[in-house]
């Protein structure tokens, strides 16, 4: 191995210390060897040729390499759906896109374009699940980014928000100019329990193509910061909708506009 010294809290080259193997993704930890039999007996499956060392916790925080190359962890749509019942307290969503193909394929979207009310079906499995989880004290929250003027897809979501709110979701909206000022990312994700991120991937036709899950601490911390900034600045969907000029709400005039 070709080792690069990355840091130590015991002098320039003292123990304990961290090193990077410049030719691989391996890390070498230098510390006090654990040799007493009682401590070794507590280790799980220490194989011949392996050794254990002890280092202060602060050394990891200060000197362990932070840049990690990870392969994206994509999960099935079934696994993703299970997150909405398995989470413990909060499910928070950032929605940044100008349209969602799945919305446009729904009967609700057809009714919206026709100027009809979007109906709440109490027996719909999605609605029933949201009510059940909300009754357990769990919170579903969303911030939706809206362009000026809004796209047809964004106007649909504003109308649809009332149905979502009736089954326990708290939905707020934010103008894209304000989102840009807050340096919010142009990506959609769910944040579960401030621990797990579900990053949603879309193709060029606005179809959801995959869900990438991560619990990497730095990414989760950034997602929590995004949530706090967006939630603090956004306003409830009904207040937001009331502030949109009437000419920008006319689906008939917008029907031939770009999505």
Residue range 39-53: mean pLDDT, rounded: 88
* Lowest-pLDDT choice from 63-67, 92-96, 129-133, 228-232: 63-67
68 located within any domain: no
Within a domain: 259:
no
Q: Looking at the structure, do residues 83 and 144 belong to the same domain, yes or no?
A: yes
CATH number, domain of 148, equals 3.30.870.10
Task: Indicate whether 78 and 59 sit together in one domain.
Answer: no
Which among 63, 93, 114 is the end of a domain? 63
41 & 91 share domain: no
Q: What percent of the chain has pLDDT over 70?
A: 91
> What integer pLDDT is reported at residue 251 of this predicted model?
55
**Domain total of the chain:** 2
Task: Identify the band that residue 99 occupies on the pLDDT scale cut at 50, 70 and 90.
Answer: very high
Which residue range(s) make up the domain with 144? 74-254
- Judged against a pLDDT cut of 90, whether residue 155 lies above it is answered with yes
Considering the domain boundaries, does residue 116 fall inside one? Answer: yes
Residue 69 inside a domain? The answer is: no
Question: What's the per-residue H, E or C state across the chain?
Answer: CCEEEEEECCCCCCCCEEEEECCCCCEEEECEECCCHHHHHCCCCCCCCCCCEECCHHHHHHHCCCCCCCCCCEECHHHHHHHHHHCCCEEEEEECCCCCHHHHCCHHHHHHHCCCCCCCCCCCHHHHHHHHHHHCCCEEEEEEEECCCCCHHHHHHHHHHHHHHHCCEEEEEEEHHHHHHCCCCCCEEEEECCCEEEEEEECCCCCEEEEEEECCHHHHHHHHHHHHHHHHHCEEHHHHHHCCCHHHCCHHHHCCCCC
Indicate if 156 and 52 belong to the same structural domain.
no
Is the pLDDT at 16 greater than 50? The verdict is: yes
Residues 106-120 have a mean pLDDT of 90
How high is the mean pLDDT of the chain? 89
Same domain, 123 and 16: no
160 and 78 both lie in a single domain: yes
Looking at the fold, whether 36 and 92 belong to one and the same domain comes out as no
| Residue located via tokens 């969907």 | 237
Strand-pair partners of 169: 140
CA 255 – CA 259 distance, rounded (Å): 9
| Each residue's pLDDT tens digit, 183-241 | 999 999 999 999 999 999 999 999 999 999 998 888 999 999 999 999 999 999 999 99
Domain annotation covers residue 148: yes
């Amino acid at each position: 191995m070709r080792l690069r010294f990355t840091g130590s809290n015991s002098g320039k080259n003292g123990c304990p210390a961290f090193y990077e193997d410049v030719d691989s993704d391996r890390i070498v930890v230098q510390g006090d060897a654990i040799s007493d039999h009682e401590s070794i007996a507590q280790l799980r499956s220490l194989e011949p040729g392996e050794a254990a060392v002890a280092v202060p916790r602060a050394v990891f925080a200060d000197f362990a390499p932070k840049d990690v190359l990870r392969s994206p962890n994509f999960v099935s749509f079934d696994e993703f759906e299970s997150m909405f019942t398995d989470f413990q307290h909060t499910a928070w969503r950032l929605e940044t896109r100008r349209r969602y193909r799945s919305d446009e394929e729904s009967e609700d979207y057809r009714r919206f374009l026709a100027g009809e009310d979007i109906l709440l079906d109490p027996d719909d499995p999605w609605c029933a699940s949201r009510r059940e989880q909300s009754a357990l004290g769990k919170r579903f929250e969303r911030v939706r980014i809206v362009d000026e003027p809004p796209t047809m897809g964004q106007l649909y979501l504003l109308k649809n928000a009332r149905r979502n709110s009736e089954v326990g979701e708290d939905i707020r909206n934010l103008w894209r100019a304000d989102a840009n000022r807050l340096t919010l990312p142009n990506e959609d994700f769910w944040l579960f329990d401030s621990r797990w991120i579900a990053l949603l991937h879309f193709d060029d036709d606005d179809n959801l193509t995959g869900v990438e899950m991560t619990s990497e601490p730095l990414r989760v911390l950034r997602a929590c910061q995004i949530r706090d900034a967006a939630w603090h600045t956004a306003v409830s969907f009904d207040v937001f909708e009331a502030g949109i000029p009437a000419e920008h709400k006319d689906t008939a005039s917008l029907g031939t506009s770009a999505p």
